Amino acid sequence: MSDSNSILESWESLKELVGTLELDVHKNAHGNKSAGVRARRGLRQLKNEAATLVKMTLEVEKTPKG
């Protein structure tokens, strides 16, 4: 059960991160260079956290049930 909870917590974290990036991406699209730096930094963080989530889900699938 704790694996399931940690996966869901990671998923919620990813969704929050995407939400925080949205404003910076829009600002960057309209020419704000500082927002572009923040957006790229956040996207790198998103990539790393998504990779961690993938690894967690693979581990859960490999674990025998029962």
- List pLDDT tens digits, range 12-40: 999 999 999 999 999 999 999 999 999 99
Token digits of residue 51: 């990779």
- For residue 47, tell me if it sits in a domain: yes
Token digits of residue 31: 């020419």
CA–CA gap between residue 44 and residue 37 (Å, rounded) = 11
- List pLDDT tens digits, range 46-56: 999 999 999 99
Token digits of residue 49: 């956290």
Confidence of residue 1 (pLDDT cuts 50, 70, 90): low
- For residue 66, tell me if it sits in a domain: no
- State how many domains the chain has: 1
CA–CA gap between residue 16 and residue 63 (Å, rounded) = 28
Q: Give the domain range for residue 32.
A: 2-60
User: What pLDDT is attached to residue 66?
Assistant: 63
- Please answer whether residues 42 and 28 qualify as being in contact, where contact means their C-beta atoms are separated by less than 8 angstroms: no
Instruction: Please provide the average confidence, as pLDDT, over all residues in the chain.
Output: 93
- For residue 44, tell me if it sits in a domain: yes
Radius of gyration of the chain measured on its C-alpha atoms: 16
User: What pLDDT is attached to residue 65?
Assistant: 75
- For residue 36, tell me if it sits in a domain: yes
- For residue 17, tell me if it sits in a domain: yes
